[in-house]
Chain A
Amino acid sequence: MIKLVNVSKSFSRFKVIKSVSLTIDKGEVHGIIGASGAGKSTLLRLVNLLEIPDEGEVRVNGQNLTNLRSKELRQARKSIGMIFQHFNLVANKTVYENVAVSLELANFPKKERKDRVIECLQFVGLEDLMKQYPAQLSGGQKQRVAIARALANNPQVLLCDEPTSSLDPNISAEILGVLENINKVLGVTIVIVSHEMEVIKSICNRVTVMANGEIYDTVLTEPIGIHHIDKSPSYFIEQLAKVGEMDDA
């Protein structure tokens, strides 16, 4: 489904991605984990050419994106959804309009747009908030809108850049539940970048570990389920205790 072949990327002489090759199969929930600065976000952004690789090839769904002309690339991007850590919704558009815009860009038939937007919002459980503006929503709700927007054009791939990193653990679990559904019900291939091990362990069935712009390892895993992400207050207390231990050491 996604195939990166010897891709490299530098930002002003600093090599962020060093000749990385990675294949992600159809239907996978693929996690990319690593410390900050390991290049995991850049690797993800190379998949839809949000970052253009200096070298190498990016193939999605059999199409070599690196060879496409800008119009063809825009077309290809419409079947690759993406969500972000900070949601990136248009603040001056309602929930409905935020989802509808992705259909407008894809020239989705006008008459069916409304039904499609509502269908997507129902999928993420937000059909009642259609007329609200993002400023009136919680973080978790905003991410759901972003997911609905990314799903509207029936993408084959969904790229998730730290999708839960600015959310509380219990809200994170809800969002991961939605992503899990997208994979299982709609059969969408998902790639998740995260620095949180819990997130990766909960729903990924293959994990790539990155360090210093290279792939350290890619392993098959058994997703342990989103319930792993503890919703109780004790979770916070444990986390705080861990931070305390680290300070002591």
Chain B
Amino acid sequence: MPDILVQYEAEIWVSIGETFIMVGASLGAAILLGLPVGTLLFLCRKGEVIENRLVFTVLNLLVNIIRSFPFLLLVVFLIPFTRLIIGTAIGTTAAIVPLSIIAIAHYSRLVEQSLLDVPKGVMEAAISMGASVKEIVFKFLYVETRSGLVLGLTTSIISFISYSTIMGVVGGGGIGDFAIRYGYQQFKTDLMIYMIIIMIILVQLIQFTGTTIARIIDKR
């Protein structure tokens, strides 16, 4: 192992840990809230089972607005809100707030798009069999679109890693922040490159895992 990595080993592990916490929290927010929001966006569309113009318009606008922010500005803009719910706007825990918000907006859009690919006929068959909205979602929509949901989540996780590198501005830490502070600002270019390599490996692993799972569960 190169000397410089040995020298900073402890700090690197801490950074990797911080990245995992931030990305993990984003992932949790994407699944727990992004999935339902995306499903609601789809179901409230014109012609869908619970067509509701008001809910659709509000959610759609909200998702668009959040995604319009350059992420750095969103982080800064949300500082008062973060302080309100976490008590501080600084640190890895505080970083979870803006990351979760972008994660929900990001993944909900991908969920909506995946659901749009479900053939209309399958929905009709479900309705003709007397399925309730909940049953349509869990027994038909999610089953039929499961590989799309996994691929969307894979894309989202990779974006979350990228977003997490910004969190250094509020003391969130992470690999990206480490690369900037130690590699770039202290002129240790080789250290920065090693950090980039770690991220490339991470992204490759995630993409490979996501694509493989999606392929295995896709029987269409």
Contact = CB atoms under 8 A, between A and B. Distances in A.
A and B pair up: yes
Given A101-B139, A135-B219, A135-B220, A88 B122 contact: yes
Interface in A66-112: 71, 73-78, 80-82, 84, 86-93, 101-102, 104-106
B215 to A, nearest CB: 13
A90 B122 CA distance: 6
B68 interface: no
A48 interface: yes
A91 B144 contact: yes
Contact of A88 (B119, B132, B139): B119
B219 A78 contact: no
B219 A50 contact: no
A87 B125 CA distance: 9
A175 B162 CA distance: 55
B129 interface: yes
Contact of A90 (B128, B144, B217): B144
B220 A84 contact: no
Interface string A41-79: 000000010100000000000000000000101111110
A48 to B, nearest CB: 6
Chain B interface category by residue count: 20 to 34
Chain A interface category by residue count: 20 to 34
A69 B165 CA distance: 52
A105 B126 CA distance: 9
Interface string A105-134: 110000000000000000000000000010
Contact of A74 (B131, B139, B140, B217): B131
A207 B218 CA distance: 42
Contact of B129 (A86, A102, A133): A102
A17 to B, nearest CB: 18
Contact of A93 (B128, B129, B132, B143): B143
Interface in A127-168: 133, 135, 146, 149, 159
A92 B139 contact: no
B128 A82 contact: yes
A92 B125 contact: no
A41 B88 CA distance: 61
B121 interface: yes
A77 B122 contact: no
Interface string B108-152: 000000000001011011011111100100011001101000000
A159 to B, nearest CB: 8
A50 B127 contact: yes
Given A104-B139, A105-B135, A92 B217 contact: yes
Contacts of B220: 91-92, 135
Contacts of B121: 84, 86-88
A78 B125 contact: no
A78 B122 contact: no
Contacts of A84: 121, 124-125
A90 B140 contact: yes
Interface in B81-129: 119, 121-122, 124-125, 127-129
Contacts of B129: 77-78, 82, 101-102, 105, 149
Contacts of A91: 144, 219-220
Interface in A26-50: 48, 50
A123 B143 CA distance: 27
Contacts of A88: 119, 121-122, 124-125
Given A87-B121, A91-B144, 6 more contacts: A93-B143, A101-B129, A102-B129, A105-B139, A135-B220, A149-B129
Interface of A: 48, 50, 71, 73-78, 80-82, 84, 86-93, 101-102, 104-106, 133, 135, 146, 149, 159
Interface of B: 119, 121-122, 124-125, 127-132, 135, 139-140, 143-144, 146, 217-220
23 contacts: A50-B124, A71-B132, A73-B130, A74-B131, A74-B132, A75-B130, A77-B129, A82-B128, A84-B124, A87-B121, A88-B124, A90-B122, A90-B144, A91-B144, A91-B219, A92-B144, A92-B146, A92-B220, A102-B129, A105-B139, A135-B220, A146-B125, A159-B128
Closest 7 CB pairs of A and B: A88-B121, A77-B130, A88-B125, A91-B220, A74-B130, A133-B219, A82-B128
